[in-house]
Amino acid sequence: MLSIVRTHFWLKSLGTMGFTLVFFSAYIYLLKNPASPVVIMPLVAMDRWVGFEPTALPIYLSLWVYVSLPPLFLLTRRELVEYGVWIGSVCLVALGIFYLWPSAVPPANIDWAQYPGVAFLKGVDAAGNACPSLHVATAVFSAFWLHWLLPTVGLGRATRLLSAVWCVAIAYSTMATKQHVAVDVIAGAALGAALAWLSRARMCQRVTAAVPRRG
């Protein structure tokens, strides 16, 4: 497994950082410059069940670790580039929706000054670009790929279960930090799952066929 992680390590590391930088530039631009009036997302019963929980902030931030894991288990440049194209497609679809249909979560009626960590998050990533939740979309996309890739590097059910729990926790954290509402989470999960399955049809057969050389 370590030999796979080390293969093209700098491409994996620098590629992930470069992708994140480009994405955030577009994301923040749309956040600050909506092309049309911003729609406030509705609340549903699930939003009443999930209260504000400031201790969920580390889980929310852990997305950036989580989404960096699938590329570590890819072996060739072609696999890495194709994976980048697919997860980039998740982001592009969401950014297109944000441009055509800007959205935001309703005010939470919370004094953010009492929660400095969450207040900092709100200052950097205001609660716009809400639906679909890109946090959830990229987490779900990554969860599917980890589910498919972990067995190819000798990691079994326990690791896949941990990955699934981590993904669900990230989705929960988007609501617990009041960055998103339930509709955003559901839409983000649908987007991530749909693009993951499309990418599997194109890419995963070739990747998993390489199991012997990944052992």
pLDDT in tens, 123-179: 877 777 899 999 999 999 999 999 999 988 888 889 999 999 999 999 999 999 999
- Inter-CA distances, 143 with 104, 128, 135, Å: 26, 24, 12
Is the pLDDT score of 114 beyond 50?
yes
Q: What is the pLDDT of residue 129?
A: 86
Count the Cβ atoms, other than its own, within 10 Å of residue 158.
Answer: 9
Q: Kindly state the average pLDDT of the residues 179-195.
A: 97
pTM of the model: 0.88
pLDDT digits (tens, 9 = 90+) for 49-101: 999 999 999 999 999 999 999 998 887 888 888 999 999 999 999 999 999 99
Q: What is the pLDDT of residue 10?
A: 47
Question: CA-CA distance, 116 to 10, in Å (whole number)?
Answer: 35
Q: What is the pLDDT of residue 67?
A: 93
Token pair, residue 47, equals 């939003």
Token pair, residue 138, equals 């990229």
Token pair, residue 167, equals 């993904």
Task: List residues bridging with 40 in a β-sheet.
Answer: 104
User: Which stretches within the chain are classed as H helix?
Assistant: 2-6, 9-32, 45-49, 57-61, 63-66, 69-72, 77-100, 116-124, 134-149, 157-176, 182-199, 205-208, 211-214
Q: What is the pLDDT of residue 196?
A: 95
